[in-house]
Structure 1
Amino acid sequence: MLQQTQVNTVIPYYERFMQQFPDLRSLAQAQEDEVLHLWAGLGYYSRARNLHRAAKTIMEKFKGQFPDTPLALESLPGIGQSTAGAILALAFHHRAPILDGNVKRVLARFHGITTPVNEKSTESQLWELAEKHTPAKRIADYTQAIMDLGATLCTRSKPQCGRCPLMKNCSAHQQGIVDVLPIKKAVRALPVRTATFLVFKQDNCVLLQKRPPTGIWGSLWSMPEIEGKPDFERIRRFSQRQFKLTTFHHQPLESFRHTFSHYHLDIFPVIIPVKKIATKAARARQQGMEEMPQIWYNPHQPEPLGLPKPVERILRMMP
């Protein structure tokens, strides 16, 4: 949960998650929707899917015993070299280096590294330094300390150098370039995409579809959508093709922007009241096919489903 997310944001999610899934077995046996429901709002949902898959893998492949070697850990979904190192150091007290964002910042400043930290050659250099500094004893204390140092004192902005125990030997402090480091290669401006979210409303319920397991909001539930701003003719054709609707009214809601790591998404919700429509799931059942992942969702009697934040926002906007 702490990958790319701040501690204060994570704490309530972590507490609810651990209350629901106190051990590997309970997590492995959970339905994916249960896991995503507790993760909803944290973002980067592949983390939740990987965590769920990792628990299943440990129960099946490792007979319920959490692996304690780098190779075995990195074979689990979502676990790379740094996460494996953190697990080995903190849970098993094995000597293993880590290199999360906070540690990168501490090492870059301490050693005065002026090449971009998001370049491969610099990252290799930082791994060498992380390995060099990792002690043989009190490994868990050291690992927690260097992460906390970056999170609390050696922060991105307004670092508290006067309180830092490494100040006297810190190259960036000696050269007066603490505010400059670490350097990152310039990232291009995020592109903007637009999408119309179709809110098919039947009585108090809204039609939701389960998204594919990969990609944005993988395995979460969302409204049907079409690319671009609302266009009545396109909405009509889509509704007729997908749901056999021939006539309908539509009510635009206020648009808003949601930002992902790689782009901005401008969302235009449109309410379409219906009396009855033939959903894909209903047509699949009629044809003896496998039921499609599509439901009528009542926001006044919510089910434990994984909903992206923008979908929750649209549900709150509805009159």
Structure 2
Amino acid sequence: MTDLARDLLDWYDRHARVLPWRVPPGSGEVPEPYRVWLSEVMLQQTTVAAVKGYYERFTARWPTVEALAAVEDAEVMAEWAGLGYYARARNLLACARAVAERGGFPRTEAGLRELPGIGPYTAAAIATIAFGERAVVVDGNVERVMARVFDVTTPLPAARPEIYSHADSLTPADRPGDFAQAVMDLGATICTPRNPACAICPWREPCLARQRSVQAERPVKLPKRAVPQRRGLAYVGRREDGAWLLETRGADRMLGGMLGWPGSAWDRGEEEAEPPAPGDWVALNAEARHGFSHFGLTLRVLVARLPMGTEPSRGAFMAASEFRPGMLPTAMRRVLEVAETSPLIRDPEGIVRA
């Protein structure tokens, strides 16, 4: 084990973050592969703060991979709503069912790579944290730490092979899972993107970027491209008894498998669409806006109070007692927020109660 690895593990033993999916260092507890896997999938492109509540709800409802594998898709998609990157939820179910069918998780990085939805990073993280295999784990925090410690001047993403090599050179055979989590914690709490706390860093002395006073400039990143913008429309209909007109988005669509408002195929560049049901649709002045990872979206919102007996051409009515905004992905919640500024949607007066 290198001196750098030993120093970092000593620091981790004292300062490890307390996280609901983590086994504290020195506790003697054995990591549960299901919980490690679930947390790693949820943490992809998502902050720890955002994930905690979802993780706790998932493990309370489905405490084992077998329990998750047996549940209906719609239940998981509804519970995932708001966490984003919804292909992860579909892959989560596919992976859970594959693991349940084979009787457990593979114990190696190579074996984990064969499961649906598990890429190189996730396989390495599960292998080393859950099973103690020496594997090299590189996420955004690790990239930043390695780029600073070794003063990597190649811009990302071209620098990734070099950064991986540096991480590989430091990853020990003893306690590799704790080491991987220690580097993540270092990046999350001390070696932060802005204003790193170098004075209290366990790697302060050997850090080449700090020695050269360029830590704020590492990792080197290429200028960001302008984010493309798309437009579309969404129809929010509410029946006279308070029921909402909703549809489940197709698996081949963005937000596939999630509940949403009928509208245009904005993920395919289409701005217009016919109403999903006959009615007096009113276009609102306010628009719903949401930023996806690779484009920004602006949706015109049309609303209508629909009479009893309405037969929609798209979607189906959901009783008001069954609907909750938390079932919707964030983009669709933004549409609802705009729609509820209209008395046609918000005002209970005139809604016939059964």
Which residue of 2 is the match for residue 309 of structure 1? Answer: 330
Q: Which amino acid aligns with 1:68?
A: R
Unaligned runs of 5+ in 1: 229-233, 282-293
Cα deviation for residue 128 of structure 1 reads 1.6
**Match for residue 277 of structure 1?**
310
Of the three residues 306, 309, 316, the one matched with 1:295 is 316
Instruction: Write the letter of the residue equivalent to 1:222.
Output: G
Shift of 1:9: 1.4
Question: Are residues 1:211 and 2:233 paired?
Answer: no
Aligned-partner Cα distance in 2 for 1:43–1:263: 14
- Corresponding position of 2:219: 182
Segments of structure 2 that go 5 or more residues without pairing to the other structure are 1-41, 267-271, 347-354
Contact 2:81 2:328 survives alignment (8 Å): yes
| Matching residue's letter, 1:307 | L
Aligned equivalent of 2:97: 56
Question: How far apart, in 2, do the equivalents of 1:302 and 1:115 lie?
Answer: 50
1:45-84 equivalence runs, <5 A: 45-60=86-101, 62=102, 64-84=103-123
- Partners of 2:99 and 2:105 within 8 A in 1: yes
Equivalent in 22, 41, 48 of residue 7 of structure 1: 48
Larger CA deviation: 174-183 vs 197-206: 197-206
Residue 141 of structure 2 corresponds to which residue in structure 1?
Answer: 102
Q: Give the partner amino acid of 1:50.
A: N
- Aligned mates of 1:208, 1:155 — CA distance in 2: 42
Cα deviation, 1:130-167, whole Å, max 9, x if unaligned, reads: 21111010112211101111111111111111110101
Which letter maps to 1:181? R
Q: 1:249: Cα distance to partner?
A: 4.2
Please tell me whether the aligned partners of residues 194 and 227 of structure 1 are also in contact (alpha carbons under 8 angstroms). Answer: no
- Specify whether residues 83 and 214 from structure 1 end up closer, same or farther in structure 2 by C-alpha distance, changes over 3 A only: same
User: CA separation in 2, counterparts of 1:154 and 1:215?
Assistant: 38
- Residue from 21, 32, 51 that aligns with 2:73: 32
Q: Deviations over 1:18-54 (max 9, x none)?
A: 1011001110001111111111111111111111110
The amino acid of 2:119's aligned partner reads G
For the residue of structure 2 that corresponds to 1:279, the secondary structure is coil
Deviations 1:85-138 (A, max 9, x none): 11111100111111111101110111100111212xx21112222211110101
Which residue number in structure 1 is paired with residue 284 of structure 2? 252
**Total equivalences in the alignment:** 292
Secondary structure, counterpart of 2:49 in structure 1: helix
SS of equivalent to 2:118:
coil
Q: Which residue of 1 aligns with 2:210?
A: 173
Helix, strand or coil at the partner of 1:194: strand
- Whether the aligned pair in 1 keeps the contact of 2:144 and 2:219 (CA below 8 Å) is yes
Q: Tell me the equivalent position of 1:154.
A: 191
Q: 1:309 to 1:300 in 2, by over 3 A?
A: farther
CA offset at residue 215 of structure 1? 3.5
- Asked if the contact 1:33/1:305 (under 8 Å) is kept, the reply is no
Q: Which residue of 1 aligns with 2:296?
A: 264
SS of aligned partner of 1:168: coil
- Contact kept, 8 Å, 2:284 with 2:302, in 1: the verdict is yes
Match of 1:145 in 2: 182
Counterparts of 2:190 and 2:326 in 1: how far apart (Å)? Answer: 39
Residues 123 and 249 from structure 1, CA distance in 2 versus in 1: closer, same or farther, beyond 3 angstroms?
A: closer
**Aligned alpha-carbon RMSD (Å):** 2.0
What TM-score does the superposition give when structure 2 sets the normalisation length?
0.77
Give the fraction of aligned pairs with identical amino acids, expressed as a percent. Answer: 36
The corresponding residue for 2:39 is: none
